[in-house]
Amino acid sequence: MTGAPTTARETAGPPDADPRGTGRTLLALAFAGMAVAVQQTLVLPLLPQLMIRFDAPITDVTWVFTASLLAGAVATPLLTRFGDMYGKKRMILLALGLLFAGSVVCAVSGSLVALIAGRALQGVSSSMIPLAIGMIRDTFPREKVTTAIGVVSATMGAGGSAGMIVTGLIADRTDSYRPVFWIAAAMAAAGLALVAAAARDVGVHAGGRPDYPGAVLLACWLVCLLLGISQGNTWGWTSGGVLGLFGGAAVLCAAWIAVELRVPAPLVRPNLLVGARSLSANVVSALLGFSMFAAFTLIAGFVQASPDEVGYGLDGSVLDVGLYMLPNTVTMLAFSFSAGRIAARIGPAFTLAIGSAFAGLCYVWLGVSNSHAYDMLAFSSIQGIGFGIAYAALGTLAVQHVPMDQSGIASGVNSLVRTTGGSIAGAATASVLAGHVIAGTDVPALGAYELCFWVVAAASGVAAVVAIAHGLRHPDRPGSRRGPARKAAARGLDESRPRHAL
């Protein structure tokens, strides 16, 4: 790849694409996405059990989750860029292969260190979802892109619920953590076989040499940032370690931006982060990541709390947590199919605003009423509607304005900021819960949970406002034959290229 001007192709694959071929591709990508999403949540209910199994403090055991998060954050921009350069299918197969290898390592591990190493390998697979979105844009006709992205994106919610259910079922029958990882390995192997046999990779490969300095600097500042966020509650937000990590992240990020502005073929063009059309999509992605990941930490604890002991909760088990989230899976999948039709009428930005509003409404419900089982079922159903619509539209909004040979990295950057938003959600909600406890105990008070529900609702509301502002500033005429990327090509430029190269 060179620094020469890039000609943008149409925003989606050929309109005469074989429906059977695209259908098989979508099935393979959706199942693979489910396998990736399952590994992200299946360890959360296991953390207390792992503390006993390895006789380790929570600060050490938390690395079973943190290692996967950090590995995914570092791998996502790298593999998505390599997908644009050498083929998205190759990188998806690599991600699924590492998911399989990591799952096996976890299943046979006999120490906490080995388990953490396996989780890091599993975490690399997080790059699969943005790679799949890029492949969909390459393969599917324009009018089906939003729906297809919605189906694949919906697997995040469905897989998250499935991971909780699987872990709950196994936890009821055995004290061993190994079966859940063998199940993850089986799903990874099946996804690998499906993608290898059915997925079509018809996109243009940019080729070129990797930006090694940019890759190293990006990995270093992301690790510093996310490690500081994830360990802030444990180490203390004003501790030397956390402040040092944030300071290091700032310095390394500045150095990374300087490098990316000067190399002829950067790993990530800065305009994909803060360009006129990219910034709003990335802000919304961070806010929705905050909203979605907050549910993983808040709902599990709230459902398992006992009203007789603390005055709130539903006295449920780990399995009950997954079962309460089943409506989320159903509505998320159903409304992901509707998102394409909505976007065709009003455009992806306003569609995203609708989804974000529903995502906020579900937390408003819990802020007002949370003492009955039907409250949790209503929350789950409304949340599925919101994210089913929002993530389909968000995936389209993140890539529709960039050239085809950069759709993978554009989706990867959007996914990365969503992960960052999710990391902040975990740290923020944990701080609120730890700071508002029942007198004489370390158990969070009901008011702490309700405050978190309102904060998360506000974040989704801001996401809706940003999406509306984007739609008003960059009107998209549904059905127009000249999409944003094609218009850019007609002018001889595109947002993803740095201004000094024009």
Give the separation between CA 200 and CA 366, rounded to whole angstroms. 43
- Fold (topology level) of 17-209: Growth Hormone; Chain: A; (1.20.1250)
Task: Please determine whether the domains at 17-209 and 269-502 fall in the same fold group of CATH.
Answer: yes
Token reading at 116 = 């953490």
> CA 126 from chain center: how many Å?
7
- The reported pLDDT for the residue numbered 112 is 93
Domain coordinates of the chain in residue numbers? 17-209, 211-266, 269-502
Q: What is the CA radius of gyration of the chain?
A: 22
pLDDT string in tens for the chain (502-residue length): 333 333 334 444 444 456 666 888 999 999 999 899 888 778 877 777 888 889 888 778 888 888 888 898 889 988 998 898 888 999 999 999 999 999 999 999 999 999 999 999 999 999 998 999 889 988 888 888 888 888 888 877 777 777 777 777 787 777 888 999 999 999 999 999 999 999 887 766 766 677 889 888 988 998 898 888 888 877 888 999 999 999 999 999 999 999 988 888 788 877 777 777 888 889 999 999 999 888 877 888 899 899 999 999 999 887 888 889 889 888 988 898 888 889 889 999 999 999 999 999 999 999 999 999 999 999 999 999 999 999 889 888 888 777 777 788 888 888 888 888 888 888 888 888 888 889 888 889 999 999 999 999 999 999 999 999 999 998 865 444 444 444 443 333 344 443 333 3
- The reported pLDDT for the residue numbered 470 is 93
- Residues 6 or more apart whose Cβ sits within 8 Å of residue 372: none
Matching residue, tokens 């209503």: 378
Q: What's the CATH superfamily of 269-502? A: MFS general substrate transporter like domains (1.20.1250.20)
Dihedral of CA atoms 99, 102, 104, 108 in degrees, nearest 10, equals: -160
**What is the pTM for the complete model shown?**
0.79
- The reported pLDDT for the residue numbered 115 is 95
SS3 track for 210-279: CCHHHHHHHHHHHHHHHHHHHHHHHHCCCCHHHHHHHHHHHHHHHHHHHHHHHCCCCCCCCHHHHCCCHH
- Residues 6 or more apart whose Cβ sits within 8 Å of residue 252: 217, 220, 221, 224
CA angle 206, 31, 359 (to 5 degrees): 90
- The reported pLDDT for the residue numbered 203 is 66
Matching residue, tokens 């039907």: 374
